Amino acid sequence: KYYINLDKRYGNMEDSYVYTQSLMNYAEVILNLYTCYLDKIRSKHTIPLAFTVTVMTFWKTVLYFLMFAEPCGDTSYRAGNSALSEFFLVIIPNGVWLVLPLLVLVKLWAHITPKEHLELKSRNE
Give the pLDDT confidence score for residue 101 in this predicted structure. Answer: 97
Cα 40 to chain centroid, rounded? 23
Instruction: Tell me the average confidence (pLDDT) per consecutive run of 10 residues in the chain, 125 residues long.
Output: 74 84 93 98 96 96 82 74 85 92 95 72 63
In Å, how far are 8, 18, 35, 66, 116 from 112, measured between CA atoms?
A: 40, 33, 15, 29, 12
